[in-house]
Amino acid sequence: MEYATSSPSDALRIVNGLDPETNVNRAADVNTDGKIGMEEAVYVLKKTAETGQ
């Protein structure tokens, strides 16, 4: 399946086997800008690296 990604969060969803059209939990908005984007992707990657998962 091909996707045209419009954001880093779309790319992360695809890599993880999720449909990029899936609703996202807005509580994941770490910088409270009303969007799920690059800042949230970086936050998740940092937390994953810290925990060694």
The pLDDT of residue 13 is 74
Domain boundaries, given as residue ranges, for the chain = 8-51
Dihedral of alpha carbons 11, 13, 16, 19, sign = negative
| Number of Cα atoms under 13 Å in the Cβ half of residue 18 | 11
What is the pTM assigned to this prediction? 0.53
Helix crossing, 38-51 with 8-15: angle to 10°? 40
| Cα–Cα distance, 7 to 41 (Å, whole number) | 10
| Cα–Cα distance, 46 to 11 (Å, whole number) | 17
CB atoms within 10 A of CB 40: 20
Q: What is the pLDDT along the chain (53 residues), one digit of tens a residue?
A: 555 556 777 777 777 777 777 776 777 888 888 877 788 888 888 888 887 65
